[in-house]
Amino acid sequence: MDFKIAVLAGDGIGPEISVQGVNVMSAVCEKFGHKVNYEYAICGADAIDKVGDPFPEETYQVCKNADAILFAAVGDPKFDNDPTAKVRPEQGLLAMRKKLGLFANIRPVQTFKCLIHKSPLRAELVENADFLCIRELTGGMYFGEKYQDNDKAYDTNMYTRPEIERILKVSFEYAMKRGKHLTVVDKANVLASSRLWRQIAQEMAPSYPEVTTDYMFVDNAAMRMIQEPTFFDVMVTENTFGDILTDEGSVISGSMGLLPSASTGESTPVFEPIHGSWPQAKGLNIANPLAQILSVAMLFEHFNCIAEGALIRKAVDASLDANVRTPEIQVEGGAKYGTKEVGEWVVDYIQNA
Q: Give percent of the chain with pLDDT exceeding 70.
A: 100
* pLDDT for position 79: 83
Helix or strand or coil: residue 232? coil
Describe the strand order of the beta sheet including 35-40 as a list of residue ranges.
35-40, 2-10, 68-73, 270-273, 260-264, 104-110, 130-136, 234-237, 181-186, 212-217
pLDDT at 83 over 80: no
- Interval 273-295 mean pLDDT: 94
* pLDDT for position 253: 84
pLDDT band at 197; cut points 50, 70, 90 = very high
pLDDT tens profile 220-268: 999 999 999 999 999 999 999 999 999 899 889 877 788 999 999 999 9
- Interval 78-90 mean pLDDT: 79
pTM above 0.85, yes or no: yes
* pLDDT for position 310: 97
* pLDDT for position 20: 98
Could you tell me if 353 and 347 are in contact, meaning their C-beta atoms sit under 8 angstroms apart? no
Considering the segment(s) 103-265 as one domain, its CATH architecture is 3-Layer(aba) Sandwich (3.40)
* pLDDT for position 114: 83
Closest CA to 269 of 69, 103, 74, 132: 69
pLDDT at 80 over 80: no
Class of the 1-102+267-352 domain? alpha beta
Spatial separation of the C-alpha atoms in residues 133 and 165, rounded to whole Å: 17
Spatial separation of the C-alpha atoms in residues 25 and 299, rounded to whole Å: 9
pLDDT tens profile 48-71: 999 999 999 999 999 999 999 999
Every domain of the chain and the residues it spans = 1-102+267-352, 103-265
* pLDDT for position 84: 72
pLDDT tens profile 148-177: 999 999 999 999 999 999 999 999 999 999
pLDDT tens profile 307-324: 999 999 999 999 999 999
Could you tell me if 163 and 143 are in contact, meaning their C-beta atoms sit under 8 angstroms apart? no
pLDDT tens profile 201-210: 999 999 999 9
SS (H, E, C) 22-84: HHHHHHHHHHHCCEEEEEECCCHHHHHHHHCCCCCHHHHHHHHCCCEEEEEECCCHHHHCCCC
* pLDDT for position 111: 87
* pLDDT for position 251: 85
pLDDT at 39 over 90: yes
- Interval 179-192 mean pLDDT: 98
Q: Which positions are annotated as active-site residues?
A: 142, 187, 219, 243, 247
Could you tell me if 213 and 235 are in contact, meaning their C-beta atoms sit under 8 angstroms apart? no
Per the prediction, the chain carries an average pLDDT of: 94
pLDDT at 78 over 90: no
